[in-house]
A and B are shown apart, each in its own frame.
Chain A
C-alpha cells in the first residue's frame, strides 16, 4: 500500500511565523502535490512537483513556497503565516499525471492566531 505521511496532524502558529509542513511518500512516486481544503471550497492546488528540485505553481501559490530536495519528500513553507492561511493542508502523490489517481496523506490542520 502507498503510504503518504505528514509531519503533524495539528499545528498552531502565530501570525508572522515561518511554518514548515513536511510530507513523505514511500512508493517512489514522481509527482507530489500540496492542496488546501476549506469548507465549501473543496481542494485547491497550491504547488506541485514532477521531479526532484522541480516545482510548479498551482492555482493559489501566493504566500507559499515549496522544496523538494529528495524524491520522497515534499515540503510546504509558509514564509510569514497569516490568519487567512488557517486551513487543512493535504499532501498527495501519484505515479503519473492526469490519468493517475492520487494518494493522500492524513492532512495537517493548521491554525494561525
Chain B
C-alpha cells in the first residue's frame, strides 16, 4: 500500500539550532513528495515539493528538504530555527493509482526560545 509516515508526533528544538522533521514514504513509481505547514487556526500552506531533479529542494521561509531514494525519505530541514517556525508540519505523497495526495499524520514542531 502506498503511504507516508512521520515517525515523530512532536519535535522540540532550541531557537537558533538546526531542525529536522522526518518523513518516509512507500509508493509505486516515481514519488512526488510535498511538505505543508499549518500555523495555529489556519489552513495548510505549501512549503516545497520534489517531483524530479536535484535531491535537495528549497522552499519557503528558509526550509529545504532532501530526497533520499535509497532510504525512501524526504526529511524537512532548516539550518537555524525561529520561534515563529512552531507549527504543525505535514508530509504528503502522490498516490500513484489515482493521482491523489495522501498526507502523513503530522509532526508538531516546538521551537523553544
Which residues from chain A sit less than 8 Å from chain B, CB to CB?
4, 35, 40-45, 48, 58, 90, 92, 97-99, 101-107
Contacts and interface: CB of A to CB of B under 8 A. Distances in A.
Interface residues of B, number: 23
Contact of A98 (B44, B100, B106): B100
B43 A42 contact: no
B43 A97 contact: no
B101 interface: yes
A45 B105 contact: no
Contacts of B95: 98
Closest 10 CB pairs of A and B: A104-B43, A98-B99, A98-B94, A101-B46, A42-B105, A43-B103, A104-B44, A42-B103, A97-B99, A106-B43
Contacts of B63: none
Nearest to A96: B99
Interface of B: 9, 32, 34, 36, 41-46, 49, 51, 90, 94-95, 99-106
A38 to B, nearest CB: 10
Given A48-B100, A58-B100, A102 B46 contact: yes
A9 B95 CA distance: 30
Contact of A103 (B46, B94, B100, B106): B46
Nearest to B4: A42
22 contacts: A40-B9, A40-B105, A42-B103, A42-B105, A42-B106, A43-B90, A43-B103, A45-B102, A92-B43, A97-B99, A98-B95, A98-B100, A99-B49, A99-B51, A99-B94, A101-B34, A101-B46, A103-B46, A104-B43, A104-B45, A106-B41, A107-B43
